[in-house]
Amino acid sequence: MNIELRISQSLYQSIHADLSRKHSFTAERVGFIACASGSLSDGGLLLLAESYLPVADDNYVDDPSVGATMNSTAIRVALQTAYNQPISMFHVHRHEHRGLPRFSGIDLRESQRFVPDFFKVQPHRGHGVIVLSHDSAAGLCWTPGVKDPITINKVVVVGRPTITIRRAHDQY
Amino acid sequence: MINTNSRQSFLGPKSAAEFGGQQIGIIGLCGGGSHIAQQLAHIGFKHFLFCDFDHVEDTNLSRMIGSRPQDAEQEEKKTVVIRRMVIDINPSASVQLMESKWQDQAEQLRSCSVIFGCVDSLSARDELERFCRRFLIPYIDLGMDVHSSNQGFSISGQVVMSLPDQVCMRCLGILRDEELAKEHARYGAAGGRPQVVWPNGLLASAAVGQYMSLILPWSQDQVPSLLLEYDGNRQCIRESSKLSYLSEFECRHFPKGQGLGDPFYVTTA
């Protein structure tokens, strides 16, 4: 399945700005991107980023073994947002380098724990995870009724400039 | 190594990938659209989606690049003529044709990396901009007009770049409800509006330049303008002074993050 994510340049920059903020004890920040959806003529899925939901300072767990761990409130807030609107929800974090990022083993393991919860509140939408680098992005999308995620083929940041990031390899 | 891109290598090492990966949508293939298709094919873009339901007429021959008298005689579709021209320039190009109103096959347009609107009416511009905003597609609109004045005629035009979270054609005063209402009132009785090849060419070149600077900026301080205005009597294109008043303006016609996608979309396994 062809999956493409589009995001406006201003929203993309605001996500980077939030993920760049220092936290008192976590090494990195995370958040959620809410997306509208559309179909593509090849049967693919078009994800259209609407808004960003940062994880509040208080909703991190002090766990030095990983970059950032959310607590249950952070997940509940994201689930509540998805429950109230017809949206796809994507967890987002950033790897501190340039070039195409890849999901780590921990990223994949943790994603498989919390992404299924979003199908309980929005069962007919795709949900997943995005990882950014300083100049690139990659993503995985779970679709209803399918166990394994699908790699997002293309991420397009629309604005001045318009940047197209194409999948270089399967992420999963 | 000398190759077809050697004279445009300043566009950067990613340029070949961009030319191969972008899907170009052009709506309206006569005065403006034919120039744009020709230039993008020369640059090296490979994937095109052309939309025009009309066929070539004698009146088109004075400004439609690539058209021939026999196309008018045979009432050849404009899409077919422009595909022929593009394939002549770039034999490896793939060209999809939509020989109906774009709204009839709008789903195909969602895959476009950019849409160039080369349409005559305000309502068509309005609908295209709404569509592009809904699916986060850069929309580049060309328009020209010839007005009578005390001293003869004046030619004017503009190139608008409509992008998410930026001012729209209503903010810029290109689309106004009263003008749209007037257009609706005279529907079917507008007749042929004056069009000539050289303003179309200038505006199309500016539009292509805008697009290139959007996807392959060749200077770090380059920010393509949202509105270029053309004075056809002085042969001059410049950034609109309106933009200085709108620099902090937030578009209220397309609020950030609202009205995106299919309202009733459902993903099926």
Cis status of the peptide bond prior to B199, with omega within 30 of 0: no
Please state, in angstroms and rounded to a whole number, the distance separating the CA atoms of residues A77 and B103: 39
Which residue does chain B place closest to A125, by CA atoms?
A: B267
Please state, in angstroms and rounded to a whole number, the distance separating the CA atoms of residues A18 and A27: 13
What are the sequence ranges of the domains in chain B? 15-245
Q: Is the dihedral of CA B29, B35, B38, B42 positive or negative?
A: negative
pLDDT for res B263: 78
Amino acid at B240: S
Residues on chain A touching B217 (C-beta within 8 angstroms)? 161
In sequence order, what DSSP letters do the residues of B5-18 get, joined into one string? TGGGGGG-TTHHHH
pLDDT for res B1: 44
Mean pLDDT per 10-residue segment, chain B (269 residues):
78 90 97 97 97 96 97 98 98 96 93 96 96 98 92 95 97 94 72 85 98 94 94 96 91 95 75
pLDDT for res B154: 94
Q: Pairing relation of β-strands B152-162 and B94-98? A: unpaired
Task: pLDDT tens for chain A, 172 residues: list them.
Answer: 999 999 999 999 999 999 999 998 998 999 999 999 999 999 999 999 999 999 999 999 988 888 888 999 999 999 999 999 999 999 999 999 999 999 999 999 999 999 999 999 999 999 999 999 999 999 999 999 898 999 999 999 999 999 999 986 554 5
Give the best residue of A12, A35, A37, A160 to mutate against chain B (max B CB count within 10 A). Answer: A160
pLDDT for res B2: 54
B195–chain A nearest CA distance, Å: 31
Exposure of B132 in the CB half-sphere (CA atoms within 13 A)? 30
Query: Which residues of B lie inside 8 Å of A (Cβ-Cβ)?
Result: 17-18, 21-22, 107-108, 110-111, 113-114, 135-138, 163-166, 213-215, 217, 223-224, 256-258, 260-263, 265-269
Total Cβ atoms within 10 A of residue A153: 16
In sequence order, what DSSP letters do the residues of B91-143 get, joined into one string? TT-EEEEE-S-GGGGHHHHTT-SEEEE--S-HHHHHHHHHHHHHTT--EEEEE
**Chain mean position to CA B84:** 19
pLDDT for res B190: 47
Architecture of domain A3-166: 3-Layer(aba) Sandwich (3.40)
| A39/B265 CB distance under 8 A | yes
Q: What is the ipTM of this complex?
A: 0.94
Helix, strand, coil content of chain B in percent (nearest 5): 35, 20, 45
Q: What is the CATH number of domain B15-245?
A: 3.40.50.720
